[in-house]
Amino acid sequence: MSVAETAKSTVEQFTVASNTAFKDGVEKTLAAINEANSHSKKNLEAVVAAVTAAAKGAETVGAQAMAFSKKAFDDQVAAARTLAGAKSVQEVVELQTSLARTFLENYMAEVGKLTETVSSSVKDSMKPLNERVTDLVEKIQAAR
């Protein structure tokens, strides 16, 4: 084989190898871009799910607070009527003490309910985001 044929063969081999490497690089880049797009889409879906859960939780808390406010107002009107019917100062003091204790117990119970609702809402809101972080960590660990 002559020097020209050897050079031609070498150039052809180099060209084929370069084309193959370029094609593989483009395919890997496209695959990485598609994976990044898929990951971004899932992240956006997780954010939407988290915001939706938070809005639902806020709506629930608002409804609970409104219901408690209405009940408290009704209870205070009833308490005022009861106090107005008292026959003595001693009876007023006893009624007032009893009513204050009842109002405080009701308030503490409602705070407990609201705390549970807020806690549940935060947990539900964070769940989709935690799942995305877990997925990312698993992908990073798998790449090692």
What integer best gives the mean pLDDT of the chain? Answer: 90
Amino acid code (one letter) for 102: T
Whether the pLDDT of residue 122 is over 90: the answer is yes
Share of the chain above pLDDT 90, in %: 62
Q: What is the pLDDT of residue 10?
A: 84
Q: What is the pLDDT of residue 129?
A: 92
SS3 6: helix
Share of the chain above pLDDT 70, in %: 99
106 Cα distance to chain centroid? 30
At 46-81, the pLDDT tens digits run: 999 999 999 999 999 999 999 999 999 999 999 999
Whether the pLDDT of residue 1 is over 70: the answer is no
**C-beta of residue 56 within 8 angstroms of C-beta of residue 118:** no
Q: How confident is the model at residue 44 (pLDDT cuts 50, 70, 90)?
A: very high
Please name the helix (run of DSSP H) or strand (run of DSSP E) that holds residue 90, with its range, or none: helix 89-143
Whether the pLDDT of residue 38 is over 90: the answer is no
SS3 110: helix
Whether the pLDDT of residue 124 is over 90: the answer is yes
- pTM of this structure: 0.69
Amino acid code (one letter) for 74: D
